[in-house]
Amino acid sequence: MKEASVVAWDGPTRVFKWALVFVVVDGWISNKYGGGFPAWHKLNGYTALVLIVFRILWGFVGGSTARFGSFVAMPGKVMAYLADKKKFLGHNPLGGWMVVALLALVLAMATTGLFSGDEDRLIIDGPLAKTVSDATVESAALWHRRIFTAIELFVLVHIAANVIYALTSREPLIRAMITGRKPAEDYADMPAAEPGPWGRALACLAVAAFIVLAPIYIVGGRLL
Amino acid sequence: MKLKIATIVGLAVAFSGVAVAQTDVIAQRKAILKQVGEATKPIAAMMKGEAPFDQAVVQKSLGLIADDAKKLPALFPADSKTGGDTAALPKIWEDKAKFEDLFAKLAAAATAAQGTIKDQASLKANMGSVFGACKSCHDDFRAKKS
């Protein structure tokens, strides 16, 4: 990059972001083509849960643009952004809500999966399905499908918004989510991001894995 | 007038005859599919480690699944699209070739698994194609309960 650039996204935030993309796509593939290999889809679900819990922790102790405090904006701020369209280094006030929505949807998707099972309770069932009634399993499975439709919709809007934004405002949003850097400018939120350290990210990941897997293992008795 | 009544009665009898035939074939396929489900259950339990591996049960179940998969295509005639509380989706008759091919795949997978499974490890390694066949057909051709 020739122009002066600044850090926009720290490494852990970027790795998380693309890992989440992978998990959503792999969740679809493992359902569509891995019908005979339930462990694949289930492992994918646990990975999704661990990633989301990691991101929630990182939203409090991670890099400055990853923190919820820096991008979850009050409606007033969203309206102001829509009016003045100022440039933000991190998520803009509107985009911030897309991040929250996507995280919430994937969390709900994976959580309903824990209680879901196939129609005949034969081939695949979530680790907690046997701890609840059949009716609950059925409605969990129903919501597991509905939420996926919502995810597809939100992902489409998310991608479209980024492509349109990158084309019309000439801000390299998508590249920034890969390289982590953006051209130095007069951003409305902060001039440069303070990255969160990798060590802290690893600690968050370990805590997230424990928070997710330990209760499932204790209550459900097994993971795969 | 008499002729008219006779015609109506005649038609009614003819139609109810058809209706009986339809529900019959629907009940028949549902019973066979239920049997397929029952045959799969003990294998599923072994896969999850909830039951010990039992070669005799596995062989018998897979044989049953393969036989049933060969009987099933004939039990979805064009006049059995609705009625009898069927969960069969109309798509079956729109894409009959693919639907029947899936039953053929299931039969082939069950027979192949029968030949290769001899312990817990080979059970885990070889049931995937059988379960995958159930799921890919249900995804496309069977209505969800909820």
ipTM of the prediction: 0.82
Question: Is A59 part of a structural domain of the chain?
Answer: yes
Closest A-chain CA to B106: A36
Question: Is A2 part of a structural domain of the chain?
Answer: no
Tell me the β-bridge partners of A5.
A183
Question: Is A3 part of a structural domain of the chain?
Answer: no
Residue among B38, B105, B134, B135 with most chain A CBs within 10 A, to mutate: B135
In chain B, which residues have their Cβ closer than 8 Å to the Cβ of A38?
131
**CA-CA distance, B139 to A203, in Å (whole number)?**
40
- Amino acid A170: pLDDT: 80
A221 touches chain B (CB under 8 A): no
Query: Could you state, in order of their start, the residue ranges of all structural domains in chain B?
Result: 2-141
The percentage of chain B sitting over the pLDDT mark of 90, rounded to a whole number, equals: 76
CATH of the domain at A83: 1.20.950
Question: Is A89 part of a structural domain of the chain?
Answer: yes
Give pLDDT tens digits for B75-128.
Answer: 999 999 988 889 999 999 999 999 999 999 999 999 999 999 999 999 999 999
- Amino acid B120: pLDDT: 94
Q: Tally the domains of chain A.
A: 1
Domain that holds residue A73: 11-220
**CA-CA distance, A145 to A113, in Å (whole number)?**
9
How many residues are there in chain B? 146
Q: What is the pTM of this model?
A: 0.90
In this structure, of A160-164, A193-197, B3-7, B55-59, the range with the lowest mean pLDDT score is: B3-7
Whether residue A184 contacts residue A1, with contact meaning beta carbons closer than 8 Å, is answered with no
**CA-CA distance, B124 to B53, in Å (whole number)?**
10
- Amino acid A58: pLDDT: 98
Chain A nearest-CA distance from B127, in A, is 7
- The tens-digit pLDDT sequence of chain A (224 residues) is 456 899 999 999 999 999 999 999 999 999 999 988 999 999 999 999 999 999 999 999 999 999 999 999 999 999 999 999 999 999 999 999 999 999 999 999 999 999 999 989 899 999 999 999 999 999 999 999 999 999 999 999 999 999 998 889 888 899 999 999 999 999 999 999 999 999 999 999 999 999 999 999 999 988 98
Question: Is A118 part of a structural domain of the chain?
Answer: yes
- Amino acid B4: pLDDT: 60
In chain A, which residues have their Cβ closer than 8 Å to the Cβ of B41?
122
In this complex, the residue of B135, B145, B146 whose CB is nearest that of residue A35 is B135
Question: Is A210 part of a structural domain of the chain?
Answer: yes
Question: Is A5 part of a structural domain of the chain?
Answer: no
Question: Is A112 part of a structural domain of the chain?
Answer: yes
Residue contact A123–B37, C-beta within 8 A: no
Q: Which CATH code for domain B2-141?
A: 1.20.120.10
- Amino acid B2: pLDDT: 53
- Amino acid B3: pLDDT: 54
Q: Residue B5: pLDDT above 90?
A: no
* Residue at B86: amino acid letter: T
In chain A, which residues have their Cβ closer than 8 Å to the Cβ of B144?
119, 141-142, 145
For A154-217, give the DSSP string.
HHHHHHHHHHHHHHHH---HHHHHHH-EEE----SS-SS--PPPHHHHHHHHHHHHHHHHHHHH
A26 touches chain B (CB under 8 A): no
Residue among B126, B131, B141 with most chain A CBs within 10 A, to mutate: B131
Closest CA to A77 of A58, A66, A92, A59: A92
